[in-house]
Amino acid sequence: MTAKDAAKLLLNSGFMQMRSKGSHRIYFRENVRVVIPFHSGKILHPKTVQQVFTAIASFEVNQTEEQINQDEENS
């Protein structure tokens, strides 16, 4: 996965690029921060890719729990 791919996933998941410093871009959503190093089409380190997926998954789990709670309240 390249940095461009990771950024696209984060943006589609509701993260916002808040700032950049040098070749690193910092994305935030609520109180979760993900730093992506941008180096001309190079493949990201597996640990960075894992951070991206973990950050995205944490919000998907929260949304699912909220939907379940709303459904129970409406029943």
Total number of domains in the chain: 1
DSSP 1: -
- How would you list the strands of the sheet with 16-21, edge to edge? 16-21, 24-29, 32-37
Considering the entire predicted model, what is its pTM?
0.77
- How many angstroms from the chain centroid is the CA of residue 32? 8
Instruction: Provide the 3-class DSSP secondary structure of residue 20.
Output: strand
The predicted pLDDT at position 36 comes to 96
Query: Residues of the chain whose pLDDT is less than 50?
Result: none
Q: Are 7 and 16 in contact (CB under 8 A)?
A: no
The predicted pLDDT at position 68 comes to 62
Domain of 38 in residue numbering reads as: 3-74
CATH of the domain at 67: 3.30.920.30
